Amino acid sequence: MGQRIRFNAFQMNAASHQSPGLWTHPRDSAHRYTDPQHWVDLAKLLERGVFDGVFLADVLGVYDVFGGNHEAAVRHGVQVPVNDPLALVPLMAQATEHLGFGVTCALTYEHPYPFARRISTLDHLTGGRVGWNIVTGYLDSAARNLGLSNQLGHDARYDLADEYMDVVYKLWEKSWADDAVRRDKATGTFTDPAKVRPIRHAGTHYQVPGIHLCEPSPQRTPVLYQAGTSPRGVAFAARHAECVFISGPTETVLKRYVDTVRGGLVAQGRPADDVLIYAQALVITAPTEAEARAKHRELLEHIDVEASLALLSGWTGVDFSKYDPDAPIEHVDTEAGRTALASFSQTDPSRKWAVGEAARFIGLGGRGPVIVGSASQVADELERWVDATGIDGFNLTYALAHETMRDVVDHVVPELQRRGRYATSYSDGTLREKLFARGPRLGAGHAATRVRI
């Protein structure tokens, strides 16, 4: 029996996430993203499927690289409109007992002092089921609307991020002692002031002299997720992350990311298996292979090339409106563009790829693989990806909300459980305890617990 396979659900508080044309499918219900019941239903479904958690993506800007404006993104609903992901956590937590929440918050967009309080609040209200996907932000449009003339450079964002992490670690881990709060009605001592310390942070980017505003929450620091695969991003993840999300179209690409991340951990003095790695994937399944293939064909008809290129342009910073969809990808005259497209063409190097074909690849399921078949076939395939790449599980996207997830929960989860490769129930405790079977808090070796105040 192989190692356990883990599932996260990859979602966004928007009508369209990783399969940008699929909202046009008659059975898609993602446009219900403004209805709380949409999220309550999802949370209950995922908990029934013993998912580790729901991972909420976010952008604080629009995909306006394609054509130099927001028109294509707006027309196709490409991650716009997009609502605040944090508001979904209390909702979904109320409807569940165990499901975890990994919320994307770009640290360049909010000051660490109020942010630390927001997360502590959610960790309290969820009984310690909150994770934070640390991103530094990649859309210039977001930076511009925050009054910055443009995004900080990539490495500069990570330098700022390191200081940001120091500030929130000091607030979460060091400001309040475990036994600071007494609630001693007899002496009138709610909190022992000697056990609450100002963090006195005086850095390059932030000055935070005071105490954290929140008493220690079940996890103190939320479970830390990261998704960077650049050298600086990997170094950041190796220092901070407990879980890593990766996305790539082939086993080769994924294995390279996995090796890089695990190598980065070792370089930081952490065990290679100290993080859980989830790879993005889309599973299309049904009771029989024939039905699954029919469903897949039906979904393919809803791919939208322009919408996909708008997404890809935002991810890469390359304006793909300049290229004929029929042009061979070698005609793309920027290296970033060619590299992005070439990675998709590796899924089938036997033929010549055009720009539009690469767009069609990401049009269903984004940058990850699409795995189609009966439960048994999908399970075989998932096991193969895990065993070949060294990932710990999958960050599963949807084509249709919530049908795709329901299919996985109803068909694939029971099959993996029969094979002994998937949890049949949750363990107790906080999200961190469920993931790592250690304590509710970060261990002494982690950067968070080593900060000094």
Q: Which of residues 261-290 bind a copy of itself (CB under 8 A)?
A: none
Question: Of 190, 259, 263, 387, which lies in the binding site for a copy of itself, with binding defined by CB under 8 A?
Answer: 190
Binding map of a copy of itself across residues 306-325, x = CB under 8 A, - = no contact: -x------------------
Closest by CA position to 277, among listed 255, 295, 293, 299 = 255
Query: Which stretches within 102-245 are classed as H helix?
Result: 112-125, 140-145, 154-169, 231-240
Length in residues, the chain = 453
Token duo for residue 340: 């992005």
Residue with Cβ nearer a copy of itself (181 or 300): 181
Q: Is 261 exposed, middle or buried (0-12, 13-18, 19+ CB in 10 A)?
A: buried
Shortest Å distance, C-beta 127 to a copy of itself: 9
Write out the binding residues for a copy of itself, residues 86-125 only, by CB under 8 A: 86-91, 93-94, 109-111, 113-114, 117-118, 120-122, 124-125
Buried b / exposed e along 395-426 (16+ C-beta atoms within 10 A): bbbbbbbbbbbbbbbbbbbebbbeeebbbeeb
Does 104 count as an annotated binding residue?
Answer: yes
Strand, helix or coil for residue 434:
helix
Annotation-wise, does 430 bind a ligand? no
Q: Which stretch binds a copy of itself (CB under 8 A): 96-104, 201-209, 261-269, 291-299?
A: 201-209
Tell me the closest approach of the beta carbon of residue 359 to a copy of itself, in angstroms.
Answer: 14
DSSP-based three-state secondary structure for 264: helix
Q: How far is the CB of 239 from a copy of itself (least distance, A)?
A: 24
Cα(314)–Cα(73) distance, integer angstroms: 10
The answer to whether 324 is a known ligand-binding residue is no
d(CA 227, CA 260): 12
Helix (H) or strand (E) holding 253: helix 251-267
Type of residue numbered 254: L
Neighbours of 214 (CB within 10 A): 19
Among 215, 251, 298, 410, binds a copy of itself (CB under 8 A): 215
260 annotated to bind ligand: no
Range 4-63, binding a copy of itself (CB under 8 A): 13, 15-16, 21, 23-26, 31, 34, 36, 40, 60-62
Dig out the tokens for 222 from the structure: 């939320």
Among 3, 83, 347, 449, binds a copy of itself (CB under 8 A): 83
Closest separation between CB of residue 407 and a copy of itself, Å? 21
**Measured from the CB of residue 387, what is the shortest distance to a copy of itself in angstroms?**
40
Residues 7, 408: contact at Cβ < 8 Å? yes
Task: State which amino acid sits at residue 396.
Answer: L
Instruction: Give the nearest distance from C-beta 368 to a copy of itself in angstroms.
Output: 23
Residue 206 annotated as binding site: no
Backbone phi and psi for residue 100, each to the nearest 5 degrees, phi listed first = -90, 165
Closer Cβ to a copy of itself, 83 or 376, answer by number: 83
Touching a copy of itself, residues 165-184 (CB under 8 A): 181, 183
Q: With respect to a copy of itself, which residue has the nearer C-beta, 206 or 315? A: 206
Kindly state the smallest distance separating residue 187's Cβ from a copy of itself, in Å. Answer: 9
Decide: is 76 part of the binding site for a copy of itself (CB under 8 A): yes
Residues 141-170 that bind a copy of itself (CB under 8 A): 141, 144-147
Beta strand extents in 274-426 (DSSP E only): 276-286, 370-374, 393-397
Contact with a copy of itself (CB under 8 A) among 3, 48, 81, 380: 81
Residues making up the annotated binding site for FMN are 58, 104, 154, 158, 230
